[in-house]
Structure 1
């Protein structure tokens, strides 16, 4: 009994220290004393400790690409007992978020800005998710900052436990909200774009302060800290960064033939489409973008873009040309001229790093775009393994896709640990 009371007393004491630290940091911020390290209390309690099953991994060696550490990680990821031990079920999040203060403390969320520079440059995020709550929550934790704003879209077709868990997590943060109108997302069809459009509108109307919009899916993960992202975007001086290049001949059927949704899948109607409005040149791209507030305003208000949106609704995979085309419309803030000299590939854009199976190759291959995948492939996309981390962190992209805690939890664990340590180190 005495030991139990003593344990409770120690727990209470630790909680008091943590809450006291938060209160003091909030006070310093409100007093605008500044962000001199001399005033900042120690943040070691915000580091991710090696407390779970992943502690057997040597993340430092993995990030350096050491063969022995990578082989150990590979063996662990194919061990069912290990994968089961690190999996967090949806029910955990539903129950844990009954006490939001405890949830944020135990999951080590950053609930104050880490610098004045970051506080002065808020970002807006749209996250579209439909499964894998653990992936979503670890993504949110990795990018969360109180000055940013987050819109979450959960596919209407998602399991009830997924919706309940994500809604519960979202409810714990004042700057994070569920989209006002969710849709049934259909792969390669218009609803995928509509999900982001709905979040765009909600984010634009919810805050006038944010500088840039970034859209993500639940299996993305950052490669940079929030401060690094802020500095990269600041250096762009209002420019946008997204894939936008000439539409390949082999994909022109996507925008010249009409399509519709039948039983939850997209199908051709056999009818030809009229040319795009205002003779707009259609460019190729992908679903993920990094754009300024003015670009979003144009999407919501520009009559040319509104006409393009309506025209796009019966095309195939409109997410792979709409944003790219808007980026080349004269007058859109941060846009570039439609001339081919301004074409930008996904490798040169910073929005998203994806390894496509047909572009992979062995080391030294001049034809390969990037090295071979160390994880597995889903729909020809690399689901990153721990062996991909060293290469990923050498790239200039802000985010990468795909990660999956079910297939390689070590890749996510080591990446999030690295980013948190770096974010805290940047303060000193």
Structure 2
């Protein structure tokens, strides 16, 4: 494979550094890693009013295809991964070691981005599962199937075709969820993450947040759109249907119940003939405890009722000290928000460098979505910030007590919807709904 001038420039730069500087070998190894590329992230993390600085960061690029080629051509994949990606081999604290987590992905492209994302989430005590879309390129599938040789706590399956709107997405998600739930591993919470997500929290912060959730399920809640029933429109579902994001946090006790439930199995069969079933699963199984008593569940119909009958303004403040929302599984910007600093694809924001200042202060667990082809400084600066916080002693002071006041946590603990500490945190889902998000459409151009 021919090397481009840009790749040669990267190699020449590394050669100059290594040949002219008396570095410790360990430092040289760290300099090779993608997340350590020279990049001034201070204006991205803290914001800058200097348009020239921000424009330069918007235009900053890096040749990620160089690393993908290295991975695809590697004779020893594991050593190549460790050469360019930082995977920790020990837990930072006993608290984290005692609270292992599990993660599930559905992936089909962008191998470098997947490894960067996995590297920042990775802990040896965690359990990971990837389902690879069967339509992914043969070489992509081959490399991913080798990951378990490098990481014994990573498991990879080849799944169904996951075209948008098809059952294949939910089927692939559930493949990993089922596998993770059947393992004799003491993980405490499961999280689904998309390949275009990036964590907004360190592992220690995640652990303390999940402890504050206290065994409750965190899922988005919205009305089910009846036109999605398609061929099932004359057939009643086994349980009431609600709309929700695929990004979810499920406690282990709930997972153990879900995989053994006959009603859940019936729901999966029912949803297999519907449209966009991946947005009809998690809250449907966790939102009707009287019908399906999943541990950690809540009454979704009470949340829908509250929104329709109480027009309380949505909280403007959304931070780790004042959560301001009932859903923390994913932070996603839609076109109607009108403050995307990257680009819009399918009405959803692909974040740019101007979005990161807010993202680092918000309460959600992951940010969706990033492309390494769109203002990659945004992605790398957020990754660098999370890595920096991971080793910062100040991170030990992180307090997740506000998460215990989230509506679904209090509802799981027995509070009614009118008894909540922060009822205004219920006022919106992550989806656009004109009933709850009135906007002036004349502003759109």
2:361 maps to 394
Q: Counterpart in 2 of 1:355?
A: 333
Other structure's SS at 1:395 match: coil
Normalising by structure 2, we get a TM-score of 0.74
Q: Is the 8 A contact 2:222 2:244 kept in 1?
A: yes
Call closer, same or farther: CA 1:84–1:50 in 2, change over 3 Å.
Answer: closer
For residues 316 and 86 of structure 1, what CA distance do their matches in structure 2 show?
35
CA contact (8 A) 2:85 2:116 kept: no
In structure 2, the CA distance between the partners of 1:18 and 1:102, relative to structure 1 (3 Å rule), is farther
| CA distance in 1: counterparts of 2:350 and 2:85, whole angstroms | 25
2:241 aligned with 1:282:
yes
- CA offsets, 1:11-65, max 9 Å, x none? 8x735x999xxxxxxxxxxxxxxxxxxxxxxxxx69979853xx2x421122111
Q: Return 332-341 or 118-127, whichever deviates more.
A: 332-341
**Match among 173, 184, 208 for residue 207 of structure 1:** 184
**Alignment partner of 1:416 is 2:416:** no
Alignment-derived partner of residue 34 in structure 1: none
Distance 1:274 1:50, change over 3 A: closer
C-alpha spacing 1:65/1:96, structure 2 compared with 1 (3 Å): farther
Q: Please give the secondary structure, in 2, of the residue aligned with 1:147.
A: coil
SS of the aligned residue for 1:185 comes to coil
* Alpha-carbon separation, structure 2, partners of 1:292 and 1:64: 34
Give the corresponding residue for 2:142: 164
Superposed CA offset, 1:356-405 (max 9, x none): 112x13xxxxxxxxxx1000011111000010001111211000111011
Do the aligned partners of 1:94 and 1:169 also contact (CA within 8 Å) in 2? no
Give yes or no for the alignment of 1:141 onto 2:116.
Answer: no
Q: 1:211 to 1:344 in 2, by over 3 A?
A: farther
| Partner Cα distance (1:333, 1:326) in 2 | 11
Assess if the C-alpha contact under 8 Å between 1:355 and 1:382 holds in 2: yes
Report what 1:309 is aligned to: 268
**TM-superposed deviation, 1:162:** 2.2
Q: Secondary structure at the residue paired with 1:94?
A: helix
CA distance in structure 1 between the partners assigned to 2:53 and 2:127 by the alignment: 39
What is the alpha-carbon distance in structure 2 between the residues aligned to residue 273 and residue 97 of structure 1?
56
Q: What residue in structure 2 maps to residue 104 of structure 1?
A: 82
Q: Is the 8 A contact 1:156 1:183 kept in 2?
A: yes
Question: Contact between 1:225 and 1:419, CA under 8 Å: does it hold in 2?
Answer: yes
Show the counterpart of 2:423: none
Q: Give the equivalent residue in structure 1 for 2:226.
A: 252
> Could you tell me how far apart the structure 2 residues matched to 1:281 and 1:223 are?
32
Q: Is the 8 A contact 1:374 1:385 kept in 2?
A: yes
Asked if the contact 1:213–1:293 (Cα under 8 Å) also holds between the matched residues in 2, the reply is yes
Matched, 1:188 2:165: yes
Match of 1:41 in 2: none
Secondary structure of the residue that 2:63 maps to in structure 1? helix
User: Residue 374 of structure 2: SS of its match in structure 1?
Assistant: coil
Tell me, what secondary structure is at the counterpart of 1:161?
Answer: helix
- Determine the structure 2 residue equivalent to 1:241: 218
* SS of alignment partner, residue 341 of structure 1: helix
Match of 1:365 in 2: none
Answer whether contact 2:44 2:353 (CA < 8 A) is retained: yes
CA contact 1:212–1:293 (8 Å) conserved in 2: yes
For residues 61-92 of structure 1, the C-alpha deviation after alignment (integer angstroms, 9 at most, x for no partner) is: 22111032x643444544xxx53535445322
Residue 50 of structure 2 is aligned to residue 63 of structure 1: no
Task: Mark the CA change 1:377 to 1:18 in structure 2 (over 3 Å): closer, same or farther.
Answer: closer
- Residues 47 and 90 of structure 1: CA distance in aligned 2, closer, same or farther (over 3 Å): closer
1:134 Cα offset (Å): 1.6
Q: CA deviation at 1:118?
A: 0.6
1:343-382 correspondence runs (5 A):
348-358=326-336, 360-361=337-338, 372-382=339-349
SS at match of 1:171: helix
Q: Quote the offset at 1:177 in angstroms.
A: 1.4
The residue number in structure 1 matching 2:5 is: none
How far off its partner does 1:353 sit? 0.8
Q: CA deviation at 1:184?
A: 1.2
Contact 2:169–2:278 (8 Å) recurs in 1: yes
Q: 1:347 to 1:47 in 2, by over 3 A?
A: farther
Partner of 2:408: none
Give the TM-score of the pair, scaled to structure 1: 0.76
Q: Which runs of 5+ in 2 are unaligned?
A: 1-17, 308-323, 397-445
- Between 139-148 and 89-98, report the one with greater CA deviation: 89-98
Classify the secondary structure of the residue corresponding to 2:193: strand
Structure 1 stretch displaced more, 337-346 or 372-381? 337-346
Residue 169 of structure 1 and its aligned partner are, at CA, apart by 4.2
State the match for 1:295 in structure 2: 254
Q: Structure 2: how far apart are the matches of 1:187 and 1:97? A: 35
- Report the equivalent of 1:14: 25
Q: What is the aligned-residue RMSD (CA, Å)? A: 3.1
Counterparts of 2:42 and 2:32, CA distance in 1: 15
**For residue 91 of structure 2, what is the aligned residue in structure 1?**
113
